[in-house]
Structure 1
Amino acid sequence: MALALWLFSVCSLPALAAHPRGEAASTLAFVFDVTGSMYDDLLQVTEGAAKILESALGRASTPISNFALVPFHDPEIGPVTVTSDSKRFQRELRDLYVQGGGDCPEMSMGAIKQALEVSQPRSFIYVFTDARAKDYQLTKDVLQLVQLKQSQVLKWVERTIQVSKVHLLSTDHKEREEHLWLVPFDPNLKEVTISLSGPMPTIEILDPLGRFMWRGLGLNELLNIPNSARVVNVKNPRPGMWTIKLRSTGRHSARITGVSSIDFRAGFSTKPTSDFQKTSKRPIQGIPTHVLLNCSGLHPPGQLDQLELLSTSGETLMNLPIRPNSSQNTNTIWKVPEFMPPNENFFLKVTGYNREGYRFQRLSSVSYTNLVPGPPVVSMPRQTHCYYMQPASIRCSVKSLIPFTLRIIRNGTRIDSDRLFLGSVNTTWEISSVSGADEGFYDCVAISNSGTGIARTFLVVTGE
């Protein structure tokens, strides 16, 4: 999750404080940012929200009469769900999905306003987003509603977007474990956020000088939900190798993110290329793969030197050297030798040195899965027209992510030698001089390791 938190100053009461006896029950409301930039955080955030819900339901001293869920993304808010059925509320929470976005400021104030409007007085409004408000002009209205209803807007989650959110570590574990991570913090990191979700989360941090970081003494605690999640933050960390010990007593997830202008994106291809337009977002299963890297914010003589493929639990699957792309004179495009992608989900981690010689690492924001190719898709025109004693071309189009063999068949017999193609192609078979005997059906058959595709055309001979 690794998201910074900010609380309305007028709403700094303890979360889920008990109501005095005889007062009306309140609403537990979640306001969720479902824009694309939340993709990698949404699962963990919804899990944390589920823990908040579970905690609220388990407190007899905190009467909750109903629940509200307000998703938002630019430019829309909703649909708003208000229900007294906790199970339905949990289903709606699980069914949240990210939508288009990426535009930094979002419609969060309007969403909070709607949550306050549908909630009972003295309610609890949890807001989850990684962006500042676009509709800040509604701030006054929101604060008036907060004061009028005496509600608490809690755990406002925002990201300062003057520079980018970057990822340093992302791991998921199914059991009780303790992990010690050595992570280089470079001078370009303006802040680092460490989050751990799971039962009894414990975070211990040592700076490069071996000093423990304590809350209030260089370490900011952003979120602490007992037995569920903890998020801490370090502003302007000292450059060097930091030691981070994470521990949980059950299934847990860890995220380390930062704020930095140095980041990268990756493209996959089946053959070497220096053009990102010719790459795809996922590798193809079982096919040798090349990776093209675009590193932003890295100035000469800074360089990338290693690409590491990591499992979702943080284990190294493969190490590959990174080389500058010889066809580019910039410090942004880098290439990696051909490799066979692993059959499991994996992250990409790049390491290198900045222009001052400090080591840095960055992790892909999402894990990659192999694209499993389907059978070739073959198409031909329903009819192919030609003239007697004239040349004819029989056209065939094949779409395939992997190599395939192509053959032309008439009446069950091959009429030409097979052809091998490495990927999608438009091709033709030529008949130098058409006779009446050439009229009839022709089949174009593409055969790959993923299956067979076939299409048929009828050759019409005119003027015999």
Structure 2
Amino acid sequence: MIMKVSIVALMAFLVSRAQAFLSVGGNGNTHVTITGSAVMAKIYEVCEAVAENEGREFKPTGSSAEELLHACLGTATGEVSGAKFRTALNQIYMQNSYVDRDLMGSAPHHFNNEAFGEGRNLITRGTAAIKANVHTNNLQSARETLGRVCHTLQDFYSHSNWVELGNKSPYAILIRPDLTIENIADVTMPTCSDCASGKCPNPLLPAILNGRYLTSGYMGLFSSDKPQGKCSHGGDTDLSSSQNPRGGINKDERLPYNAHLHNTAANLASEATLDLLEDIRGAIGNKDYLRLMGIARSAVLVFVIDTTGSMSQDIAEAKRVTYNIIDSKKGTQDEPSEYILVPFNDPDFGPLIRTTDPDVMKSEISKLSATGGGDIPEMCLSAIQLALTGAPSSSQIYVFTDAPAKDTFLEKTITALIRSTKSTVSFLMTSAMRKKRELPRSQFQIYYDMALASGGQAIEVSKSHLSQATDIIVDTSTSALVTILQCSRNPGRVESFPFLLDESMSNTTIYITGTDLIFTLYSPTGVSQANTVASGPLGIIQKVGNLQRIQLTGTDMGLWNIDMKSTGSYTIKVIGQSAITFIYDFVEEFKGPHPGYAVIDGRPPAGLPAKLLLMLTGEKGPEVLEVQEVALVDVSRLRESNGTIEKMGNGDFLVTVKEVPEGEFVVLLKGRDTTSSSLFQRQSTTQMSQSKVNIKVQTDSSMQPGQEFKLNFTVTTNGTGGAYTIRARNDKSIPMNYPSTLTLVSGGSAQGTVSLTPPANTVSGTDVTLTMEAEGPGGSDSNYAVLRLSVLSKVTDFTPPKCELVGVQGNCSSSSCSSSNWELSVNITDGNGTGIERITIQQGSGNLTQNEVLDDNVTVVMGLYEASCCSPSVTLSAVDKVGNVGRCTYTMETSAGSPRVSMSLPLWACLLISAMILLCDAFSLW
């Protein structure tokens, strides 16, 4: 109990400083603060539990999120990049803005208008979807749902009168679907007194307070109407707050008249978020919880392989390079965290095979064989679509093929997915079939275009030399991969390309693709090496097909140059390994009750300044890094538009570019590492462009197997009026209906509906990626929206498993804990529920043995836990088949006496102190 009080005090201290619940502006910040404090505290706790279970130390070397990541992974081998960790967390945090922008008028999402039942249903259904998504490895969908659920859960404490009723603990019923919300004020019951100034600290009527009735404020965004006598939300955007009773009861901002109420609401929201995260952690286990939070080695190996009859040599090479990567990188920081394989043929493609086990990947790729194949073109783009929707964001995808694509109608869908996921697609095209069939390059141009759009390579090589080209896979399937320079010329010209190497860089490699290439490489000290010198003072040049790969052996830091003499088309890319990098999103500002910035799902609007929300990450965190320049650079590098930089704090920057380059562009960043005074340069790989068309699709619910699911979408344009072509595709081939065209006038909008009906046998937790496209008359302009939808079976079992203590044995009073052991026996049942799925050790370093017995037609799991007295505490987590969690926590006293038993999960104050320090240093509050 003393420990629990300490935690509340710590959370109160942190969150009262945060002044939470707003998105931007005002005397407060955002839900990111509350969510971030809980997320980091829980990550710290789980990392330490995993380290204890594995018998290793967990000691972050500093307070940054990157140092927490390094310590949690438990290895000092190789570079560790925090980019994917930060990206994963941003997928959670960005959903806060989504709820405020796209769902501002939804009472349940904000617990406005006394919509308690509906709001609680959003939380419990969302939590069930998160657990099901993790079970089926759909982590991005789980993160996005978690962000929305956290927002709704936290709004309860600011928008209801829970705090005014004197409650000091979170309302556990909000995350317990097996319990009922009680004592809600009836719609006819007056709840507030009139507050003419709008600044009354507590306008609730005595009858509400004395009767402990639950109520929340009514929000009038478009009308001042509200039920008679009801409280309003309050604030300038709430029209109902001008109607008697005036004022409002929201605690979104800490103001002089409500500071205590605001602080308490923020503290309870933080505690409630911790409780929610603990429930999810218990359901999915420690390892999957860390994967959900982005704690994983950054490299993901994704192969898309043509298996038609002519591909036997290519498949053999794909097997060789895969085995080599698995065997050579096992146990190092560069070991891939996940393996994905998508085969394709004609007319078949898939299935997507995903595993975290390298031996499983070896087994699956060994099963591939070259057979069949009808027409020369094949289903390559369909396979790439599966890879892009199944792989994590920013993945490296490698495509092996010797034939053009048959499904070219997917070209714009693939481009949209590349931009949405920021993944890189490289093609290894063998030429035997092309020569035999005399296929023109134009049929393969789509591969070159996709490689360029994603920042990948399109390598054309003979089958006999393919093994030399696959070195690029070894180069790029590594952790902490960064791009220093990337550009394209068509046609080429005599030109010099400078690039900056900093002290953090290692394993720098240059790729130049094209024909008849002539170039010279210069180091910062003036040493040069021509392309005709295979092994020279600066590096080793390997030529294969249309690719020249230069692996630098020189270590000079500073400004390098590539002087190109070729006039044919070519591409240049410089990569290496470094912990210093950046992540970014194009964002738009929105107004409303809680204004802020939200990620643009699609191409940013033409005719307006482009805004980017950008975050730096480095080995010691973003605090030691400075941004000096951010620019949008067109692909030809003929135009560079610098942005104005606004520091948001803790590594976050808002960049505004007033004059955006026409056509395709990338993001270029230059900065300085203050720890070494070294200048650095980084560049994004994914090409982007602006559009006069916008398509927006809104959803915040799951589909059910066998039931029609409808989504409303809106298309707007500032360009040409006329008939706009609508396309909708999903990666699970679910039947859909939608209008093929919408008619728009310039400056106008039109609405439509797309419906999907998942088959009745769809597995609960299935992730469906829906890509919506709107194309203007003549195809001159288009835009897209990419949504991740979940299919979730209806849950009727809400009862968690029960844990009963049978006995405890052992004596831990010895002065040397390592010389004594203890054990406990438990019985775990699930009553009339769906049955026990698994029982795991959530915290503790002992061993658990289990045995099932049938007692009066009820299955009982008898568990025996044995541990050293050096590990006196244990938490067992019992999960049923739909994700309900029951926990047993036991602590063996280290002095003489009976064992102490606790039936609630302890949260260690020391963990939270460290996690709070991490949060304050590592997270921004936008």
TM-score, scaled to structure 1? 0.51
User: Secondary structure of 1:232's partner?
Assistant: strand
1:270 matched residue in structure 2: 588
SS state at 1:269 partner: strand
Report the CA distance between 1:229 and its aligned residue: 1.7
Match of 2:512 among 193, 196, 199: 196
Q: 1:364 to 1:84 in 2, by over 3 A?
A: same
Q: Give the conservation status (yes or no) of the 8 Å contact 1:284–1:372.
A: yes
Task: Give 1:230's aligned residue.
Answer: 548
Contact 2:698 2:712 in 1 (8 A): yes
Where structure 2 has 5 or more consecutive residues not aligned to the other structure, the ranges are: 1-309, 323-348, 356-360, 399-463, 700-710, 719-743, 754-926
- 2:498 equivalent among 182, 185, 192: 182
* Equivalence for 1:311: 634
Relative to structure 1, is the Cα distance of residues 93 and 173 closer, same or farther in structure 2, using a 3 angstrom cutoff? farther
Deviation at 1:294, TM superposition (A): 0.9
The 1-side partners of 2:661 and 2:465 are apart by 50
> Identity over the aligned pairs, expressed in percent?
16
The 5 A counterparts of 1:212-291 are 212-213=528-529, 215-221=534-540, 223-225=542-544, 228-235=546-553, 237-271=555-589, 278=599, 280=601, 282-291=603-612
Q: d(CA) in 1 for partners of 2:752 and 2:395?
A: 50
Structure 1 residues 367, 152: CA separation in 2 closer, same or farther (over 3 Å shift)? closer
Paired AA for residue 677 in structure 2: G
User: Which residue of structure 1 aligns with residue 656 of structure 2?
Assistant: 337
Superposed CA deviations along residues 70-99 of structure 1, whole A, max 9, x for unmatched, are: 9986447679573698982x7566876243
Instruction: Report the alpha carbon displacement of residue 336 of structure 1 after superposing the two structures with TM.
Output: 1.3
1:82 aligned onto 2:364? no
Q: Secondary structure at the match of 1:261?
A: coil
Aligned partners of 2:519 and 2:566 also within 8 Å? no
Matched residues in 2 for 1:378 and 1:275: separation?
A: 18
SS at match of 2:370: strand
User: What are the equivalent positions in structure 2 for 1:266-415 lying under 5 Å apart?
Assistant: 266-271=584-589, 278=599, 280=601, 282-297=603-618, 299-325=622-648, 328=649, 330=650, 332-337=651-656, 339=658, 341-355=660-674, 356-374=676-694
Distance 1:447 1:26 in 2: 50
Deviation at 1:169, TM superposition (A): 1.7
**Distance apart, 1:284 and its partner CA:** 2.3
- Pair 1:224–1:365, CA change in 2 (3 A): same
Query: Structure 1 regions of 5+ residues with no counterpart?
Result: 1-24, 36-68, 109-149, 380-396, 405-445, 456-464
Q: SS at 2:525's partner residue? A: coil
- Distance in 1 (alpha carbons) for counterparts of 2:596 and 2:642: 23
Aligned to 1:417: none
What's the offset of the Cα at 1:358?
2.2
In structure 2, the CA distance between the partners of 1:72 and 1:402, relative to structure 1 (3 Å rule), is closer
Q: 1:285 to 1:80 in 2, by over 3 A?
A: farther
Q: Offset of 1:342 from its aligned partner? A: 3.8
Aligned to 1:64: none
Change (3 A) 1:300 1:151: closer
Counterpart of 1:139 in structure 2 is: none
- The 8 Å contact of residues 635 and 666 in structure 2, kept in 1 or not, is answered as yes
Q: Which moved more, 1:98-107 or 1:154-163?
A: 98-107
Equivalent residue, structure 2, for 1:52: none
CA–CA separation in structure 2 for the residues paired with 1:403 and 1:85: 43
Q: Which amino acid is 1:293 matched to?
A: L
Shift of 1:354: 1.5
Q: Provide the C-alpha distance between the structure 2 equivalents of 1:266 and 1:244, rounded to a whole number of angstroms.
A: 28
Q: 1:187 is paired with a residue of what secondary structure? A: coil
Task: Compute the RMSD of aligned alpha carbons.
Answer: 4.8
Q: 1:429-440 alignment to 2 at 5 Å? A: none
Q: Is the 8 A contact 1:198 1:229 kept in 2?
A: yes
Kindly indicate which of the two structures has a greater share of residues assigned to strand.
1
Residue aligned with 1:223, SS = strand
Count matched residues.
292
Equivalent residues of 1:176, 1:250 under 8 A apart: yes
Amino acid at match of 1:232: I
| CA distance in 1 between partners of 2:634 and 2:496 (Å) | 16
Aligned ranges 1:115-130 → 2 under 5 Å: none
CA distance in 1, matches of 2:610, 2:396: 37
The alpha-carbon distance between structure 1 residues 352 and 249, as it changes in their structure 2 partners (threshold 3 A), is same
CA–CA distance in 2 between the matches of 1:261 and 1:346? Answer: 24
How far the C-alpha of 1:398 sits from its partner, in A, is 8.7
The structure whose residues are more often helix, as a share, is 2
CA distance in 2, matches of 1:284, 1:104: 23
Q: Check whether the contact 1:186–1:240 (CA below 8 A) recurs between aligned residues.
A: yes
2:665 and 2:558 map into 1 onto residues whose CA distance is 26
- Amino acid in structure 2 at the alignment position of 1:101: A
Q: Give the distance between the partners of 2:538 and 2:672, measured in 1 at CA.
A: 26
Deviation at 1:158, TM superposition (A): 0.9
Report if the CA contact (8 A) 1:266-1:291 is conserved: yes
CA distance in 1: counterparts of 2:465 and 2:509, whole angstroms: 28
Contact 2:586 2:600 in 1 (8 A): yes
Q: Secondary structure at the match of 1:221?
A: strand
Per-residue CA deviation, residues 112-150 of structure 1 (Å, 9 max, x unaligned), is xxxxxxxxxxxxxxxxxxxxxxxxxxxxxxxxxxxxxx9
Question: Structure 1 residues 278, 152: CA separation in 2 closer, same or farther (over 3 Å shift)?
Answer: closer
Is the Cα–Cα contact under 8 Å of residues 190 and 260 in structure 1 kept in the other structure?
A: yes
Equivalent position amino acid for 2:617 in 1: S
Alignment partners' CA distance in 1, 2:311 and 2:662: 49
How far residue 374 of structure 1 moved from its aligned partner, in angstroms, is 4.3
Q: 1:357 deviation in Å?
A: 2.4
Q: Match for 1:206 among 516, 522, 528?
A: 522
Q: 1:107 to 1:70 in 2, by over 3 A?
A: farther
- Aligned residue for 1:449? 747
Does 2:391 match 1:101?
yes
**Are the equivalent residues in 1 in contact too, given 2:715–2:750 (CA < 8 A)?**
no
Matched, 1:164 2:480: yes
User: CA, structure 1 residues 361+152, in 2 after alignment: closer, same or farther (shift >3 Å)?
Assistant: closer
Matched to 2:626, the amino acid is Q
Q: How far apart in 1 are the matches of 2:466 and 2:714? A: 55
CA contact (8 A) 2:717 2:749 kept: no
**Distance in 2 separating the partners of 1:94 and 1:403:** 29
Query: Shift of residue 28 of structure 1?
Result: 3.7
Distance 1:252 1:216, change over 3 A: closer
Instruction: Provide, for residues 23-79 of structure 1, a one-character-per-residue CA deviation record: whole Å limited to 9, x for no partner.
Output: xx995425569x9xxxxxxxxxxxxxxxxxxxxxxxxxxxxxxxxx99986447679
Q: Distance in 2 between matches of 1:378 and 1:84?
A: 43
Deviation per CA, 1:391-424: give whole Å up to 9, x if none.
Answer: xxxxxx99658799xxxxxxxxxxxxxxxxxxxx
The answer to whether the 8 A contact 2:665-2:689 is kept is yes
8 A Cα contact 1:192 1:233, kept in partner: yes
How far, CA to CA, are the matches of 1:256 and 1:287 in structure 2? 32
Q: Distance in 1 between matches of 2:500 and 2:629?
A: 14
* Residue range with higher mean Cα deviation, 90-99 or 263-272: 90-99
Retained in 2: the 8 A contact 1:205–1:244?
A: yes
Match of 2:407 in 1: none
| Displacement after TM superposition at 1:447 (Å) | 8.4
Structure 1 residues 196 and 302, CA gap change in structure 2 (3 angstroms): same
User: Match of 2:483, as an amino acid?
Assistant: H
SS for the counterpart of 2:516 is coil
Q: For the structure 1 residues 171 and 151, does the alpha-carbon distance in structure 2 shift closer, same or farther, using more than 3 Å as the test?
A: closer
- Whole-Å Cα distance in 2 between the matches of residues 251 and 350 of structure 1? 26
Query: Contact 2:590–2:598 (CA<8 Å) still a contact in 1?
Result: no
Q: What is the distance in 1 between the residues matched to 2:625 and 2:467?
A: 44
Report the Cα distance in structure 2 between the residues aligned to 1:295 and 1:272, rounded to whole angstroms. Answer: 24
